[in-house]
Structure 1
C-alpha cells in the first residue's frame, strides 16, 4: 500500500497547505469574498444615503449576553416589537410558548402554545395581531392577543399553508410585517434560501400566494430572522451561520451590514446561534441568540465596550 501523501511533505509546506485549505474553506463558508467586495461598495454611500437607511455600521452593542430568566431549558426563536405595549415577544420551540419581554430583557409573561410543533418566528402584523410561523408544520397562524390570555391553541385560529412540503428542517424561520405594502415577509432558511411576500386579508387570515422577492445578492448562508423598518422601507436579514446582520433595500439589494463576531461592533464575544431580530420605535436593534441570551444594539453608542450583563 503506498505511503500516505503527507508523509513526504516538509512540515513547513504541510503547514502552508493546511493554511491554504482552511482559508479557502472560510472564504467559501462565510462568503468573505462577497463581504469584502460589498464592504468596498458600502463605503461609497453618501451621508444622505446613509441617513436614509438603517445604516448598520453606526450601531454598537450596549447590552450583550443578558440571560432571559426562567427560559434556560427552552430555545428562544424569533423576535418582534409590539408598539402598543412597548414590549418584545419571542417564541420557544422545545416547550412551545409565547413569551413577552420588557425592552431590558425581563420576562413579563409566558403563554403556553398548543397545536404548534416547532414555532420559529413571531411578528406583530396588521390590526395589532400576532402571527407565528411553525417550521415543521409549514404554517402561519394569526391571532389576537389580550392582556388576560392564558394559553393559545393553533386549532382555534386560521392557518395558512406555506408550502415547500419537502423542506423538512430548512423551512421558514423569519417573518416580518411590511406595513408600507400591507404584506408579510417570510424568510426561508435555505434549500432554496430566499425572502418571500404574502398579502393578508383581514381577520380571515391570509390571501393570495407566496411570491419570491429579489434577494440573490444577500451574501448569507442561511436566514434565521427578518425585521422590517417602515422608516426606510428596508429589511434586516439575520444569519446564524454567517454571523451577520444584513440590511436590504426595497429591491433586495444590500445596503449595509455588521458582523456578529466578538471584538467587532462593541461585542465582547460572538453571538452564537442568532435566532431573532427586531427594531423598536427608537431604532434600537434587539437580537436573541441561544442559549436564550439578549443583545441590544444602539446607534451613536459609545465605542467603549460595555460591561457584560448576566
Structure 2
C-alpha cells in the first residue's frame, strides 16, 4: 500500500547552518586580517597594561576627542586635500592640495588664510614645515622631494626655482612616496611610501640642504593597509602614522614600536561620522591634533 505522507524536505547543503556559519567565520576572518583588527586587538590589550607614567610620556591617542568635526574647506571640494603640517613660528597650518596643486594656509580653527599655487608640481601629496620658513613637498607622480621657502609675502611657488631630490622608483608605481615629516630632534626628514607602508629617513640641516641619501627605517610595526601621511609630536618625538584605508592613526615611539592608536570610524573619539578618507595629520606644540580628509574636510582633536 502506497503512503500518502509527504516526503521530508531536505535543504540543499549550502543552506544548512554549519556551512553558513563557516562561510561567515571565513568572511569575518578575512575582513579582520585585511583591516589588521588582530593587530589592533593586541595593541588594545597592551594599552590596558600601560601605567599612568608611561601614558604621560606618550601622545596616548585614546584620550583624544574631536572638537571640530568635518569642517568644509570652502570652495575646495574638487582639489583633494592631501596633507597637513604645523608651522610653530606662525602658529598656522599648511595643507597641500594634490588634484590642483597649491598650498593653503589655515589658522588653527581651519579657516583659510591664503592659497599659494604650486606651479610645476604634478601631484603633491606630502608637506612638512622645517626650519627658518623652509617646507619640504613630496610629489607622488614626479617621485621627488622639493625644499621651498615660504614667507608672508609668498604668492606662488615654481618647482624649477628650488632644489629637487629624486626619491627613486617605488615598489608600487601608483602608490609611491606620499608622506613626509620633519623630525627636528634628529635633524632628519622621515619619508613614507604608501603601499606597502615603508619608512625612510634623509638627514638635513633643516634649511634646505639634504645630506647623503635616503635610507630605510624599520617599518615592521606599520600594521596598516596603506600609509597616507606622517606627523610628529614635537614634545616626545613620537611619529604619527595615518592610514586612510585602515581608518586608523597609529603612534610609534622612537624605536618604531607601536604605542597607541585611534580609530577614525564614526562613534569613536567623538566623531559623528567616519572620516571619509584621512590624508593629512599634524600636531602642534601644545599636543592638539589636526587632520584633513578628502575631498576637503578639516578636523581638530584635543586631549581630554
The normalised TM-score by structure 2 is 0.92
1:168 alignment partner in structure 2: 173
1:304 alignment partner in structure 2: none
| 1:258 equivalenced with 2:262 (yes/no) | yes
CA contact (8 A) 2:235 2:285 kept: no
| 1:114 equivalenced with 2:119 (yes/no) | yes
* Pairing partner for 1:142 from 137, 140, 147: 147
Give secondary structure in 2 for the equivalent of 1:231: coil
Please provide the CA RMSD for this pair.
1.6
Give CA deviations for 1:13-60 in whole Å, capped at 9, x if unaligned.
Answer: 454244223201211111111111111112111111100111111111
2:106 alignment partner in structure 1: 101
How many correspondences in the alignment? 294
CA contact (8 A) 1:215 1:253 kept: no
- For 2:55 and 2:90, the matched residues in 1 are separated by 30
CA contact (8 A) 1:160 1:205 kept: no
CA contact (8 A) 2:63 2:303 kept: yes
2:242 alignment partner in structure 1: 238
- For 1:64 and 1:116, the matched residues in 2 are separated by 30
Q: How does 1:221-236 map to 2 (within 5 A)?
A: 221-236=225-240
Q: Once the 2 structures are TM-superposed, how far is the Cα of residue 281 of structure 1 from its aligned partner?
A: 2.3
Q: Once the 2 structures are TM-superposed, how far is the Cα of residue 142 of structure 1 from its aligned partner?
A: 0.7
Structure 2: unaligned runs, 5 residues or longer? 1-10
| 1:276 equivalenced with 2:266 (yes/no) | no
Q: Once the 2 structures are TM-superposed, how far is the Cα of residue 202 of structure 1 from its aligned partner?
A: 6.1
Q: Once the 2 structures are TM-superposed, how far is the Cα of residue 279 of structure 1 from its aligned partner?
A: 0.6
Q: Once the 2 structures are TM-superposed, how far is the Cα of residue 140 of structure 1 from its aligned partner?
A: 0.7
Q: Once the 2 structures are TM-superposed, how far is the Cα of residue 269 of structure 1 from its aligned partner?
A: 0.8
Q: How does 1:23-172 map to 2 (within 5 A)?
A: 23-164=28-169, 167-172=172-177
Give secondary structure in 1 for the equivalent of 2:76: coil
- For 2:112 and 2:208, the matched residues in 1 are separated by 31
- For 1:240 and 1:225, the matched residues in 2 are separated by 9
CA contact (8 A) 2:234 2:285 kept: no
Which structure is larger by alpha-carbon Rg, 1 or 2? 2
The normalised TM-score by structure 1 is 0.91
- For 1:74 and 1:211, the matched residues in 2 are separated by 32
- For 2:68 and 2:149, the matched residues in 1 are separated by 31
- For 2:225 and 2:171, the matched residues in 1 are separated by 19
